[in-house]
Amino acid sequence: MSKQMDFAQQAVEKMLAYGADQADALVSESLSIGASSRLGNMEDIEHAESADVGLRALIGTQQAFVSSSGMNADQLDSLAERAVAMAGMAPADPFCGLADASRLAKDIPQLDLEDAHEPEMEKLTQMAIATEETARAMDGITNSEGAGAGWGRSTTGLVTSDGFAEHYSATSWSLSCAVLAGSGDNMERDYAGHTVRHCEDLETPEQIGAEAASRALARLNPRKLESRKAPVIYDPRVSASLLGHFAGAISGTAIARGTSFLKDSLNEDVFAKSITVTDDPKRIRGLRSMAFDAEGLACDKLTLVSAGQLACWLLDSATGKQLDMPSNGRAARGIGSPPSPSASNLYIEAGDLSPEALMQQIGEGLYVTELIGMGVNGVTGDYSRGAAGYWIENGELAYPVSEITIASNLKDMFKHITPANDLSFRYSINAPTLLVEEMTLAGL
């Protein structure tokens, strides 16, 4: 990455020479390979490489961005000159600017995000084939959408005119499979997948294949429900989506614009007392871990919700200025875009009861394993989504159900959530099994 960091440093120096008051350069380099199979045959192999640079020039309260694929030294002058010229024509933004120089990260943490091993394509091919073969070998599996295995490495570097110049690398390994069970009018699809930083943490092809097949088979012969109000339990595959809606609602951007249903809720009770929500960018091998944020600030663990009370927003420097608060190191940024606030490894802490105990507690209700559509209003909190899963009777999963719409308001849902004790860090946003005390179910 030294070549790319040198390019970024030179770009910053040239932007200053062309008249910028401040400047930064973001560089990104990535390599990925993947293989997929379907019905026992290799379907596709992929190999992709990229090297990109994004420049930001600031003149007073004006800023502009330019980006380029590749880092050609012959283009450096024109990129820097163009960024400064565009900044001179940009509308004023009183909140733009580099992060507070006194708060730039000085100690870059080692988060074990990079696996030194790079696989051969043949290994990924074998993994994909073995995964699908395992799934298709189970009785009742009649078709397949395929299986895929992938690996990638990315490096991100940031140089600012305030003297920050650091980079870090991360790898990812992934394995997935989707199959169909049944025949004729009674066919159901489901999937399984896993993504990790290090190969040694990845589930085996046998585990992924068996899980995908078992899930598809369990969904055969679904029933429809009559419309009613009932408790709803979210499986961990879908429970994190509720936390994703929460993250959007406490983004500094939404709060500054007044477009969040939680805009007046700081230091208020927004969840049930049993809920603690944490964001941890320094989680070892985390899927969204980062050594520093997109502005070069140190990013520390944050408790966003404690005993149900909302403690802070997600802030970068610009939204912090708008809200008269300091950034809490949550800036994210694309190559050609300004920083904006975003969560890292966000999770709801585990509760005391097992998922089985939660089902026994409600006796009857809906257990959701799949959500469909995006019927969520971030301004009002109104929530309505298609769902499928299982009906709970006598505290146990009784039979599969489908073609249901579940509806409520996120404000009400958050205040009536109970977490189970099965939290695992499988995704970038994680939550245990969650019970919502009552929702409207629309079926027949």
Q: What is the pLDDT of residues 182-196, one digit of tens each?
A: 998 889 999 999 999
pTM of the model: 0.94
Rounded to whole angstroms, how far apart are CA atoms 434 and 271?
A: 12
Helix (H) or strand (E) segment spanning residue 69: strand 62-69
Tokens 């019927």 locate to 375
Instruction: Give the per-residue pLDDT at 1.
Output: 62
User: In this structure, what are the phi and psi dihedrals at residue 215, rounded to the nearest 5 degrees?
Assistant: -65, -45
Instruction: Give the per-residue pLDDT at 177.
Output: 98
Supply 137's token pair: 């070998």
Rounded to whole angstroms, how far apart are CA atoms 87 and 303?
A: 37
Residue 277 burial class via C-beta count within 10 angstroms: exposed 0-12, middle 13-18, buried 19 and up: buried
User: In this structure, what are the phi and psi dihedrals at residue 29, rounded to the nearest 5 degrees?
Assistant: -130, 130
Instruction: Give the per-residue pLDDT at 435.
Output: 98
Strand partners, 442: 405
**Does residue 84 contact residue 20 with C-beta atoms inside 8 Å?**
yes
Q: Which residues contact 102 (CB under 8 A, 6 or more apart)?
A: none
Rounded to whole angstroms, how far apart are CA atoms 344 and 294?
A: 12
Domains and CATH numbers, the chain: 3-217 (3.30.2290.10), 222-443 (no CATH)
- From the list 194, 146, 148, the residue with the least C-alpha distance to 172 is 194
Instruction: Give the per-residue pLDDT at 23.
Output: 97
Task: Return the number of other C-beta atoms located less than 10 Å from residue 431's C-beta.
Answer: 29
Rounded (to 5) percent helix, strand, coil in the chain: 25, 40, 35
pLDDT in tens, the chain (444 residues): 678 899 999 999 999 999 999 999 999 999 999 999 999 889 999 999 999 999 999 999 999 999 998 888 888 999 999 999 999 999 999 999 999 999 999 999 999 999 999 999 999 999 999 999 999 999 999 999 999 999 999 999 999 999 999 999 999 999 999 999 999 888 999 999 999 999 999 999 999 999 999 999 999 999 999 999 999 999 999 999 999 999 999 999 999 999 999 999 999 999 999 999 999 999 999 999 999 999 999 999 999 999 999 999 999 999 999 999 999 999 999 998 999 999 999 999 999 999 999 999 999 999 999 999 888 999 999 999 999 999 999 999 999 999 999 999 999 999 999 999 999 999 999 999 999 999 999 986
Instruction: Give the per-residue pLDDT at 444.
Output: 67
Query: What is the CA 230 to chain-centroid distance, rounded?
Result: 29
Query: Angle at the Cα of 434 (from 429 to 436), degrees rounded to 5?
Result: 125
**Does residue 317 contact residue 331 with C-beta atoms inside 8 Å?**
yes
Reported residue count of the chain is 444
User: In this structure, what are the phi and psi dihedrals at residue 373, rounded to the nearest 5 degrees?
Assistant: 85, 170
